[in-house]
């Protein structure tokens, strides 16, 4: 027999899903900061590796939820530039788990994988495995996997790329300065050609971006959830989407 609490959650999920089916706008692009794996592991007396594995399993589940409501793009913040400064043992574990995760995502039907981040700072073995499953083909859902990612560095790299391109075209410095625009910089970001995220979700109760999509999130809606990422439920996701759908987006107007 199902526990009463589980039954209530299922009934609540159905109600949330019905609300979404009644013309509530669904975000086209969802970003997610998958935070809290280590704290989850500590709370349950598990190892750090167990926490990261549980978080990876939740990502696959999360993508299924996104697919159910026709989200087109998901950007996952799985490995920041700063994360690479953790202990060699933990980084080694992360590399293996992330490699396995991305291969699983790439194997999902109708899903395309794109890497976003500074791959030059990512360990060579991880970079090789990730690049092997990257695809540029059209697909039902695009999944951006942020590895070796830093928001400030992305902007710096975009400006460098723009300046290099214009210089190669023979454009003089004064013209580059006078013609510089946000749109030009946007064309050199990791997510170039994609719409900015409509909704950004962060788990674990932390209420900050930690450098995630700093440029692209100017007019994103944010949803912060107390649950650690391995405990993030479909109910939490549907709440976030419902909350997004009920907001009035003004885009600064």
**Mean pLDDT to the nearest integer, 62-74:** 96
Q: Is the pLDDT score of 205 beyond 90?
A: yes
Q: Is residue 43 included in any domain, yes or no? A: yes
DSSP conformational letter for 27: P
7 is in an annotated binding site: no
Given 50, 83, 118, 243, which residue is catalytic? 83
50 within domain boundaries: yes
Dihedral angle over CA of 126, 129, 132, 135, nearest 10: -60
175 is a domain residue: no
Out of 15-24, 37-46, 91-100, 234-243, least confident range: 15-24
- Strands, E assignment, 15-162: 29-33, 73-80, 111-116, 141-149
Residue 171 tokens, joined:
């454009």
Q: Assess if residue 119 is contained within a domain.
A: yes
The total number of structural domains in the chain stands at 1
Query: Which of 6, 21, 35, 50 is flagged as catalytic?
Result: 35
Statement: residue 1 has pLDDT above 50: no
Would the annotation count 173 as a binding residue?
Answer: no
35 appears as a binding residue in the annotation: yes
Q: Check whether 40 is labelled as a binding-site residue.
A: yes
Residue 146 lies inside a defined structural domain of this protein: yes
Query: Residue 244 corresponds to which tokens in the numbers above?
Result: 């997004």
In the residue annotation, 83 being an active-site residue is answered as: yes
Q: Is residue 251 part of a domain?
A: no
Residues 141-167 pLDDT 10s = 999 999 999 999 999 999 999 999 999
Does the annotation count 35 as an active-site position?
yes
Q: Does 100 carry a binding-site annotation?
A: no
15 assigned ligand-binding residue: no
In a domain, 189, yes or no: no
Residue 142's domain is classified under what CATH number?
3.40.1180.10
What would the two tokens of residue 202 be? 């962060």
Q: Is 80 annotated as a binding residue?
A: yes
Is residue 107 scored above 80 in pLDDT? yes
CA atoms within 13 A on the CB side of 10: 6
DSSP 127-170: HHHHHHH---S--SEEEEEEEEE-HHHHHHHHHHHHHHHHHHTT
* Residue 179 maps to a domain: no
Task: Write out the residue range of the structural domain in which residue 235 sits.
Answer: 26-152+198-244
pLDDT in tens, 165-203: 999 999 999 999 999 999 999 999 999 999 999 999 999
């Amino acid at each position: 027999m199902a526990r009463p609490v589980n039954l209530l959650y299922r009934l609540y999920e159905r109600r949330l899903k019905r609300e979404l089916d009644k013309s509530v706008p669904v975000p086209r692009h969802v970003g997610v900061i998958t935070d809290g794996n280590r704290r989850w592991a500590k709370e349950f007396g598990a190892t750090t590796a167990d926490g990261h594995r549980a978080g990876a399993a939740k990502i696959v589940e999360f993508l299924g939820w996104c697919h159910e409501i026709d989200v087109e793009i998901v950007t996952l913040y799985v490995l920041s530039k700063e994360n690479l400064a953790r202990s060699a043992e933990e980084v080694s574990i992360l590399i293996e788990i992330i490699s396995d995760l991305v291969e699983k995502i790439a194997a999902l039907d109708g899903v395309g994988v794109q890497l976003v981040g500074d791959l030059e700072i990512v360990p060579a073995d991880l970079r090789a495995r990730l690049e092997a499953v990257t695809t540029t083909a059209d697909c039902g859902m695009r999944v951006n996997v942020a590895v070796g990612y830093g928001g400030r560095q992305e902007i710096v790299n975009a400006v460098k790329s723009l300046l290099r391109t214009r210089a190669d075209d023979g454009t003089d410095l004064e013209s580059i300065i006078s013609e510089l625009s946000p749109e030009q910089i946007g064309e050199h970001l990791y997510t170039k050609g994609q719409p900015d995220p409509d909704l950004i979700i962060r788990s674990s109760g932390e209420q900050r971006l930690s450098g995630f999509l700093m440029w692209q999130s100017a007019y994103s809606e944010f949803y912060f959830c107390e649950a650690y990422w391995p405990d993030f439920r479909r109910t939490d996701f549907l709440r976030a989407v419902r909350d997004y759908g009920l907001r009035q987006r003004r885009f600064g107007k």
